[in-house]
Amino acid sequence: MLVIKLMSKYKIIIEYEGTNYVGWQKQNNGSSIQEELEKAIFKLSGEKISVFGAGRTDAGVHALGQVAHFDLKKIYYLDNIRDGLNQHLRPQPIAILKAEKVRENFHARFSAQKRTYQYLITNRRAPLTIYKNKSWEVFKKLDVDKMISEAVYFIGKHNFDAFRSINCQSNSPIKTIDDINILKEEDNIFIKVSAKSFLHSQVRIIVGTLVEIAKGKIKKNVKDIIKDKKRSQAGITAPACGLYLVKVDY
């Protein structure tokens, strides 16, 4: 006798403040976003399940539009998924913005076509207060025009060996940056980068390089740094606190 096991697949959009978490992925050294979501889903449904995210954000990284999916045996109203999970997540800085039912072949990570990250820098002499742990405070005045002119060289398909961490597990350093935009509003500098996927710490190393170029610490241009493929030629890895996963497109 053939038994068909029916499951319902749900996609959720998540906002979180990542300061006190070890990142998205479950680890033994502290609380993760993934683990806290799985706990909340168990409290809501009584089912022990795995949650799969679109991006494995590092410790201290935030999200405005992280996407995840999970399967449940029981069918729920979408508002009950959102509101029920938010109830069980309180008072943690993790919120479900939206829930929707998706097709069986949907995968939050592998179905994604584009991921957009935004990095926030506050460039002023005064220390941060309200945005502490939510922005990178840079005290030396930055040449933003120089950052903008150099950033265009990141766009396109390149070998990004110079812009990935020593812990990167990707088989290939080849990635395609679809777009990069830099906007200055008063003391804040917003750097938005879009691609289908990124190497480990790639966005933070891109930002760190642009900042060191803007300070005059790096004289080499981005085009030549990419060409040389040496991590030592690029800049520092910018702090995690300024990075946000903004949006995932499917």
- What is the pTM assigned to this prediction? 0.94
- CA 151: distance to chain centroid? 19
What CATH class does 8-102 carry? alpha beta
pLDDT of residue 5: 54
User: Residue 179: which pLDDT band, with cuts at 50, 70 and 90?
Assistant: very high
Across residues 138-162, what is the average pLDDT?
98
The answer to whether 8-102 and 114-249 have equal CATH topology is yes
pLDDT at 8 over 70: yes
- Look at residue 50 and give its three-state secondary structure: coil
Cβ atoms of 233 and 162 closer than 8 Å: yes
Q: Could you confirm whether 224 is annotated as catalytic? A: no
Cβ atoms of 189 and 142 closer than 8 Å: yes
pLDDT at 2 over 90: no
Q: Pick the catalytic residue: 58, 145, 179, 224? A: 58
CA-to-CA distance for 224 and 40, rounded, in angstroms? 48
CA-to-CA distance for 97 and 105, rounded, in angstroms? 22
pLDDT of residue 7: 82
pLDDT at 6 over 80: no
- Condensed to tens digits (0 to 9), the pLDDT of residues 64-97 reads 999 999 999 988 999 999 999 999 999 999 999 9
pLDDT of residue 1: 47
pLDDT of residue 3: 46
Across residues 24-30, what is the average pLDDT?
93
CATH architecture, domain 114-249: 2-Layer Sandwich (3.30)
- Condensed to tens digits (0 to 9), the pLDDT of residues 29-53 reads 999 999 999 999 999 999 999 999 9
- Condensed to tens digits (0 to 9), the pLDDT of residues 194-242 reads 999 999 999 999 999 999 999 999 999 999 999 999 999 999 999 999 9
CA-based angle 171:176:178, to the nearest 5?
150
Cβ atoms of 109 and 52 closer than 8 Å: yes
Give the domain ranges of the chain: 8-102, 114-249
- Condensed to tens digits (0 to 9), the pLDDT of residues 160-170 reads 999 999 989 89
- Condensed to tens digits (0 to 9), the pLDDT of residues 98-131 reads 999 999 999 999 999 999 999 999 999 999 999 9
Does residue 133 come out as left (phi exceeding 0), alpha (psi in the -120 to 50 range) or beta? left
